[in-house]
Amino acid sequence: MKETREATKHGAILYDESLGLHVHPDLFDTSFWQSQGAELSQGEQRRGRVLFIRRGQHRWVLKHYYRGGWAARISNDRYLWTGEARVRSFREWRLLARLYKQGLPVPRPIAAIYHRGAGTYTSDLISAQIRGARALSEALRDHTAGEMPWLAIGRTLKRFHLAGACHPDLNAHNILLDTKGAVHLLDFDKGRIRRQGPWCMANLARLQRSLHKIDEDHSVSYGRQGWAELLEAYKQAGRK
């Protein structure tokens, strides 16, 4: 990967030059893709919606950054400008690029953009879609807990923790399972690299709460045995 930054009229774009793409602001505009005859579909992530783009060989996900909590009452997508280094889309792009280059299973970052105005900014991120994958939360609703790849999930989470990758909101919606049984993580907004510490167990506790919530809301059980397998695989992966 080769990180490249280019200034725009109201901000800047960050992209992977090694992909050989013509990157421009219109790539982050739904109407542009409609004019190009791309296949578009909406999806859900932690906050707001994402747009799945399919055109030619490209399978991309376009995410617009939305605010949550009380701040969303003031503005649902405008953030206070505190410098380019703190732009949400740029920070996530760079973290994904770092993890991707280390061989960790994350979406490949394609491009990020921000637009400034009146001391605030909006931002967007394009990443590669993980084909044929679906969220652990969705898989649990359609299959029994015993069919889930708990061992692979535990080993994968340990790989991220060994790399110091702290996921800001590890839950069953941000863990993807592909058709080959591989495990991927997505949505690293506000994620960061940290030394291993108590946050690793806090990450796992957050995931367990997420599984409990799915159990309560959809009357499905992730199973004590499944969780025990995940934890054992996590511990064993750390001893290698």
140 and 119 co-located in one domain = no
Averaged pLDDT, 192-209: 94
197 and 225 co-located in one domain = yes
Query: Structural domain of residue 151, as residue ranges?
Result: 134-237
Joined together, the tokens standing for residue 26 give 């219109």
- Which residue has tokens 């996530």? 92
70 and 117 co-located in one domain = yes
CATH number, domain containing residue 88:
3.30.200.20
Averaged pLDDT, 169-178: 93
| 10: Cβ contacts below 8 Å, ≥ 6 apart | 115, 116, 117
Number of domains the chain is built from = 2
Joined together, the tokens standing for residue 181 give 């049984």
Contact between 77 and 67 under an 8 Å Cβ cutoff? The reply is: yes
Considering only residues 25 and 215, tell me which one the structure prediction assigns the higher pLDDT. 25
pLDDT tens for 147-169 read 789 999 999 999 999 999 999 99
Predicted confidence (pLDDT) at residue 240 exceeds the cutoff of 70? no
108 and 71 co-located in one domain = yes
Q: Which of 69, 104, 128 is the last residue before a domain boundary?
A: 128
153 and 68 co-located in one domain = no
pLDDT value at position 113?
97
- Which residue has tokens 């909406």? 42
Coil, helix or strand at residue 234: helix
- Cβ-based neighbour number of residue 224 at 10 Å: 9
Binning pLDDT at 50, 70 and 90, where does residue 47 land? low
Predicted confidence (pLDDT) at residue 80 exceeds the cutoff of 90? yes
Predicted confidence (pLDDT) at residue 45 exceeds the cutoff of 70? no
Joined together, the tokens standing for residue 116 give 């400034």
Averaged pLDDT, 22-34: 92
Kindly name the residue from 77, 142, 169, 187 that is annotated as catalytic. 169
Q: Which of 96, 128, 160 is the last residue before a domain boundary?
A: 128
Active site residue 169: yes
Instruction: State the average pLDDT for the chain.
Output: 89
CB-neighbour burial class of residue 207 (10 A; exposed 0-12, middle 13-18, buried 19+): buried
pLDDT tens for 100-143 read 999 999 999 999 999 999 899 999 999 999 988 989 988 888 77
* Residues pairing with 176 in the sheet: 135, 184
Joined together, the tokens standing for residue 225 give 């045995």
pLDDT value at position 60?
95
